Amino acid sequence: MGHSLYNTTLLVNLTIALFGIAGALFSFVWLVLRWNTPWRTRYLLGLGLSIATVVLVIGLQYAILFWVHLPAVGREQMAKFEAARAERFQESTHVFVGDQVPEFTVETLAGKSFSSRSDGRKVVLLNFFATWCGPCYSELPHLKQIWEAHHDNDNFQMLMIGREETVASIDAFRREHDLHLPIAADPDRAIYGLFASESIPRNVLISADGVVVFHRSGFYEEDLQELEMMIRHELAEAK
């Protein structure tokens, strides 16, 4: 329900309620004045109908507000938010679903070499973060769950990449948050710049064929749920 239609229904119901209140006052006054006359029953009925009308209109307006108007406003705002989010993602992203993953190699904190196009059919999850990023902190429990669920699978690789972070800063971050998954520093955005120009956290899932199958920015529970489903699907395909 749009704002104009809601305002119209509000005006109509308010008008009816005012007439109902006026009718109730009129009936009450004449009921008192003619209590001992045969008209008493008529004015009692009028008073009851007027009160019932007011109550009904208030209930109807309440139902319209909370069951129709506010949900519609919520859906409208959510649609605007999603459209703005999609626009920001489009403007800030260099690699999209369906693209081949850019080629890069980086050394992890553990001293191992990590390649985006490693030998063999492996599903790769890249997570771009920063130690100062609040949404990145919120995402950590989910990333830990993903790592715990799949790190024993030989077809799965995962790497957290600290954008504009040093080896020292990500090592401190790893210790603070008890991270046991692979992590690497990207101090000059050399890797991040291949995928995007701004916005973290970012999760990029790469199929065993080296194709980006999932790419989202920001922290959203529904995105992470979809990511987990995609990981399971890609791992099943990689067998």
Residues ≥6 apart with Cβ < 8 Å to 14 = 61
3-class secondary structure for 13-34?
HHHHHHHHHHHHHHHHHHHHHC
pLDDT at 198 over 60: yes
Q: What does the pLDDT average to over 165-183?
A: 94
The reply to whether the predicted model has a pTM over 0.75 is no
Residues ≥6 apart with Cβ < 8 Å to 64 = 1, 6, 9, 13
Nearest to 185 by CA among 204, 221, 160, 148: 160
Burial class (CB in 10 A: 0-12, 13-18, 19+), 179: middle
pLDDT digits (tens, 9 = 90+) for 80-117: 777 877 788 788 899 999 999 999 999 999 999 998 87
